[in-house]
Amino acid sequence: MFSPFCQSPLVTRIIINGSKGRMGQALLACAGNHSGLQVVASIDVGDDLVSLMPQADAVIDFSHHDATATVASLCAAAGKALVIGTTGHNEMEKASIRAAAVKIPMVWASNYSTGVTTLFWLTRKAAEILGPSFDLEVLEMHHRLKKDAPSGTATTLLEILGDVRKVQLDEALRHGRQGIVGERTASEIGIHAIRGGDVVGDHTVIFAATGERVELTHKASSRDTFANGALRASGWVVGRPPGIYDMQDVLGLR
C-alpha cells in the first residue's frame, strides 16, 4: 500500500534475519508496538531469504557478522532497504556491505538505543571541549555469551574519539594492559572489554586529566531499547536515497 504523496509505503513490511537469537526475539516481541510495521517473515540459519524477499520492503539483520554481506547483496539485487544491527564485521565484510549501499538505503548502527545515540553525540562534544590534555579510556561490559570484542558500540565510541584527536586507531588503541607496559602516552586510547553474567550492555567513556575526571556512562537494562530503535529505523529507511545512514539520521540529530 503506497501513499500517492511520498515514496515510502504506509505499512512497511519487514523480514527479521537472526530471529531465533536474543535480539531476534526482542524484535518479534516489540514489533507489535509499531503500528506502521508488519513482520512478513522471521528467518534464521538455513532459511531461504531470496524466495521471501518479494514480500518485504526491508530486512532487519541481527545475526552473525559473516551473514550480513550476503544479506546486503541480496537486498541490493532485490532493491530492498536494509537495517543492520549485527556487529563484529571484518574489513572485507564491511567493504561488501558498503558496495551494496550504492544501490539501496541502509541504516547501519552499532547501537540502536536513543540513549547510546545521545552518548555518541556527547562523546564527540566532550572530546572537542576537553582537548588533548585529557587521557581517553573506554570501558564496555556485556553478558558472558557475547561473541565479539570490543563491542560494536565501543568501536563507534573509539572511532569518534580517534576522529576528534586525528589519530590512526590501529596505532593509538591499547587493548587492556598487562605487564610492564610503561607510562601511559598522551596519544593512546585505552579499551577494556569486560564479560560476565547477563549484562545487556554498559559503556563508559573516561576523560581523565590532572586534578579532574569526566565519565560518560550508558547502561542498557533491556534489549527492547535496541529492538524498538531498529524497528523505527526500518520504517524510516524505506524510500530514502541509496546510502548508509545511522541512528543520528533516523532521530534527526544531523
Looking at the DSSP bridge assignments, the partners of residue 83 are 60, 107
Catalytic residue check, 146? yes
Is 34 assigned a catalytic role?
no
In this structure, are strands 12-17 and 58-61 parallel, antiparallel, or unpaired? parallel
Residue (of 217, 200, 85, 226) closest to 139 by Cα position: 217
Cell matching residue 98: 558498503
Give least dist CB 244 to ligand NAD, A.
14
Alpha helices in the chain (DSSP H): 22-30, 49-52, 65-78, 91-100, 114-130, 152-165, 169-172, 224-237, 247-250
**Under the rule (CB under 6 A), what is the footprint of ligand NAD?**
17-18, 20-24, 44-45, 62-64, 67, 85-88, 109-112, 148, 152, 226
The total number of residues shown for the chain amounts to: 254
Q: 183, exposed or middle or buried, with CB in 10 Å at 0-12, 13-18, 19+?
A: exposed
C-alpha cell at 228: 524498538
Q: Which of 80, 89, 142, 218 is catalytic?
A: 142
d(CA 254, CA 248): 6
- List the one residue out of 128, 198, 117 whose CA is nearest residue 153: 117
Give the whole-angstrom CA distance, residue 243 versus residue 7.
Answer: 16
Which of 47, 54, 56 is closest to 17 using CA atoms? 47
Q: Which residues are catalytic?
A: 142, 146
